[in-house]
Amino acid sequence: MDRAVAIQRLWGGLVLPPGPFYDGGARYFDVGGFERSESGEWLFEIGPSRTAVPYGFMIGPEGAFGIATTRWVPLHGTIEGWIESVSLAHDAFVYAERVTRYTGTRVETIDFTELEPIEVIAGITDRWWRGDDVLVARSSGEAEAFDAPQSRVALRFTGDLNWLANRGVS
């Protein structure tokens, strides 16, 4: 309960731009109800979804941001990771010269060997990487939640990425 109150004080009312996955994500942050995950851990709602989705946006016992259906799936290690991810996606769509969307098994065709993970995202199920003039976001939360590998999605942003330096992402 103390964590829920602290998060509400810090983030309550914050409205973010829509994210590229999870039908845009939570509309705004507002701590809601509590529930137990399948493993018995306490989760609490972090805000209403922008659209009708078959899961809720939740904060887990260790502070991870994720989604919960009948299964808890942490997306980012922290709520700040989710915020940074949505913010980064917003900027990437503004500045990228080209955006390529990969779904299902096509996600596996992306070569991550030359890319470095972006740690500030605190990615667990959802991750971001960057390389020379390429930025990649991969979302696997829905795939894990519903045991549906065809639901994996990745976005590959290409072009001049100098704007990342202004965000503190090198």
CA distance 45 to 49: 10
State the Rg of the chain over Cα: 16
3-state class (DSSP) for residue 88: helix
**Beta-strand pair 42-47/72-76:** unpaired
Cα 24 vs. chain centroid, distance in angstroms? 10
pTM assigned to the model: 0.90
The residues, ordered by sequence, that sit 6+ positions from 142 with a Cβ below 8 Å of its Cβ are: 21, 22, 55, 67, 148, 151
Other C-beta atoms lying within 10 Å of the C-beta of residue 14: 13
| pLDDT recorded at residue 164 | 78
Residues 162 and 166: their CA atoms lie apart, in Å, by 8
Local mean pLDDT, 10-residue blocks, the chain (170 residues): 80 88 91 77 89 93 90 94 93 94 94 91 94 94 94 94 70
pLDDT of 65 reads 94
